[in-house]
């Protein structure tokens, strides 16, 4: 038995879809049962995100640690190189190198991709650490600290860019919070670790400490999401429809 005519004059299916949208209920076609494949995909996605965040947090930890780790080692370094004033550049060279290079890393990542530039920044940081640890003069140590600062600036900027690319605005807050917590812990531990190495081993281990963690960070970057592709945007972002035209 057919029902009466539709007062709106529109097909009944369109009217039902509009009513479902107004009440917030999913359309019948959207009600799909969750399968085991969906669960496996969700677990793989969580593992992938965890590995990636481990690598990013470790990168930030090493960069932040090297800002403060030399503070308690400076008197010993000054005595070792017989310098009464040049040692002040050991800390300043790191900060100057980072400040000078940080604006460029983001542009490089737009050209060559996030993953490539992140690995380049990590390589620059570890080359600087090697120069610092093997220094035979105060000038060599200052140059090594400048190179290390350039790499650290790349690590810190790329971590923020990658999180902004991969996660939606709703999710970014918790990941930026993780990064901030790691920064605070590393900055607080720096003088303690530097003093322990200087008193018990050698001040050179303030820089060699970066290498045992290099493999862990590289493992997380390799096993995490592919960063070289286009940024992933979820939902409406700051540029909204301009980046997501209708029908695409």
CATH number at residue 153: 1.20.1250.20
Residue 4 resides in a domain: no
Contact residues for 159 (Cβ-Cβ < 8 A; gap 6+): 56, 59, 60, 179
Residue 72 resides in a domain: yes
Tens digits of per-residue pLDDT, 112-152?
A: 888 888 888 988 999 999 999 999 999 999 999 999 999 99
Residue 70 resides in a domain: yes
Residue 219 resides in a domain: yes
What is the residue-wise DSSP string for 8-37?
T-S-HHHHHHHHHHHHTPPPGGG--PPPHH
Average pLDDT over residues 78-85: 86
Q: Which domain holds residue 156?
A: 54-223
d(CA 102, CA 212): 25
Burial call 62-100: b when 16+ CB within 10 Å, e when fewer: bbbbbbbbbebbbebbbebbebeebbebbbebbeebbee
Q: 149: closest CA among 134, 132, 163?
A: 132
Residue 162 resides in a domain: yes
Tens digits of per-residue pLDDT, 165-215?
A: 888 889 889 999 999 999 999 999 999 999 999 999 999 999 998 876 655
Q: What is the mean pLDDT of the chain?
A: 76
> How many folded domains does the chain comprise?
1
* pLDDT recorded at residue 54: 85
* pLDDT recorded at residue 248: 37
* pLDDT bucket at 219, cuts 50 / 70 / 90: low
pLDDT at 15 over 50: no
Residue 64 resides in a domain: yes
Residue 45 resides in a domain: no
Residue 1 resides in a domain: no
């Amino acid at each position: 038995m057919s029902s009466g005519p539709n007062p709106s004059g529109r097909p009944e299916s369109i009217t039902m879809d509009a009513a479902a949208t107004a009440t917030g209920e999913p359309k019948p076609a959207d009600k799909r049962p969750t399968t085991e494949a969906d669960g496996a995909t969700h677990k793989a996605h969580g593992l992938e995100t965890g590995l990636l965040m481990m690598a990013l947090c470790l990168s930030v930890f090493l960069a932040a640690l090297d800002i403060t780790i030399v503070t308690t080692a400076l008197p010993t370094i000054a005595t070792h190189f017989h310098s009464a004033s040049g040692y002040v550049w050991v800390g300043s060279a790191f900060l100057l190198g980072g400040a000078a290079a940080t604006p460029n890393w983001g542009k490089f990542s737009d050209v060559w991709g996030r993953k490539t530039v992140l690995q380049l920044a990590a390589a620059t940081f570890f080359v600087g650490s090697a120069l610092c640890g093997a220094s035979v003069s105060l000038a060599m140590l200052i140059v090594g600290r400048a190179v290390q600062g350039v790499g650290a600036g790349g690590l810190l900027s790329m971590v923020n860019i990658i999180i902004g690319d991969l996660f939606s605005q709703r999710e970014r807050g918790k990941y930026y919070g993780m990064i901030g917590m790691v920064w605070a812990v590393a900055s607080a531990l720096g003088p303690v670790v530097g003093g322990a190495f200087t008193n018990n081993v050698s001040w050179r281990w303030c820089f060699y400490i970066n290498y045992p963690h290099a493999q862990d960070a590289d493992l997380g970057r390799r096993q995490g999401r592919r960063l070289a592709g286009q940024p992933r945007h979820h939902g409406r972002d700051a540029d909204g429809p301009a980046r997501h035209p209708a029908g695409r």
